[in-house]
Amino acid sequence: MVRTGDVLVVGGGVIGCAIAYELAKAGLFVTLVERGTPGCEASSAGAGMLAPQSENAALGPMLTLGLASKALYPDLALELRERTGLDVEYETRGDLHCFLDEGDEAVGRAAFAWQREAGFKAELLGRADALALEPDLSPEVRGCLFLPEDHWVNNPRLVTALAHAAALEGVTFARGEVGTILRSKDRVTGVSVGGETLRAALVILAAGAWSGQLAATAGLRLPVGPARGQIVCLEGIPRRHHHLLHVRGHYVVPRVNGEILLGASMEWVGFTKQVTAKVARDILDDVLRLVPSLGQLPIKATWAGFRPWAPDERPIIGPWPALEGLVLATGHFRNGILLAPVTARLVRELLVDGKPSLDLTPFLPDRFVTEER
């Protein structure tokens, strides 16, 4: 046995690191087990958009959760900078959903209508106004839906800052691959890592797309698996582009250092980490039509990552019923960067305060409980 503690977090992505930090601030003794470096999987592969308005087609629990999480970002960014010195590049200039033809425009107008009716900030801009915001847009652009309250961060930095802040709060980082979640009848007792046992009163499963596999080691059927996303990263000029851009399901995310992320695919191909020629071409076709000058930039990198996907595409947050000592925080799919702060807060409220401040019903693991061993 290596050591005992209050809480053991499995997985050091943005979700695990945010939870570890939050629980340590609340005074719990936390150990986080990660097989690589913090953020080495989806949390660095993602694009960092904090875009609940872009991501939702209607009012509902996902939008409520996303807005609640986005609201936590300004303070979190400041707090992380004060505590760690790291700037997570929280950017707030909004998102242009650009129209290249009538079909795009119809989709944009429909989104504009419900968002305005729901009381959100949204504007329909003509070509001249769109070009005034982003001069490199193609003259082919007919206009755009401008969502000024969708934001973004540098997500690899965010995970590093969360991990750093968690360590400063006293979280122990253990490097190793969790083989099994250990249980004794109706209680989880810890995990096995490379032949050793880590015991804990509470295990938080935050292993991203691998959470389903790990749950199976405790005899649980948790339908969480990988949804691959591919990104092409260009080497651009800092501050040349100022907004998130969307066009026909693809996007452009400018980072402070000049990197420009172009994404992304959505593929169910298991854990095959590849960038494929077809997906790269599809992304580049749409994006270069929108911003032709990007075609002159060097490709700096390409990568693929695995979004943690559950069949109803909602995160899974809360205790596994009828099994004491296991809490899930996974399945964040396309929105784990956005949802990390609220997930951490909800887990802390569940464990420390006893009552979450948002209705967790749509996100509880109960919806997937079919059978146990």
Ligand X SMILES: Cc1cc2nc3c(=O)[nH]c(=O)nc-3n(C[C@H](O)[C@H](O)[C@H](O)COP(=O)(O)OP(=O)(O)OC[C@H]3O[C@@H](n4cnc5c(N)ncnc54)[C@H](O)[C@@H]3O)c2cc1C
| Binding interface with ligand X (CB under 6 A) | 10-16, 33-36, 40-43, 45-49, 177-178, 206-210, 214, 229, 231, 263-264, 305, 307-308, 330, 332-338
Measured from the CB atom, the residue of 179 and 292 that comes closer to ligand X is 179
Residues 6+ away with beta carbon under 8 Å from 107: none
- Please state the φ and ψ torsions of residue 241, each to the nearest 5 degrees: -115, 145
Report the 10 Å Cβ neighbour count for 240. 15
Give the C-alpha separation, 290 to 269, whole Å: 29
Q: How far is the CB of 140 from ligand X (least distance, A)?
A: 25
Give the C-alpha separation, 138 to 31, whole Å: 50
Measured from the CB atom, the residue of 129 and 149 that comes closer to ligand X is 149
Q: How far is the CB of 131 from ligand X (least distance, A)?
A: 25
Measured from the CB atom, the residue of 124 and 283 that comes closer to ligand X is 283
Dihedral sign (CA 155, 25, 16, 330) = negative
Instruction: Supply angle C-alpha 255, 256, 261, rounded to 5.
Output: 15
Measured from the CB atom, the residue of 229 and 356 that comes closer to ligand X is 229
Q: How far is the CB of 120 from ligand X (least distance, A)?
A: 18
Q: How far is the CB of 227 from ligand X (least distance, A)?
A: 8
Q: How far is the CB of 331 from ligand X (least distance, A)?
A: 8
Give the C-alpha separation, 254 to 242, whole Å: 7
Give the C-alpha separation, 297 to 347, whole Å: 43
Measured from the CB atom, the residue of 153 and 364 that comes closer to ligand X is 153
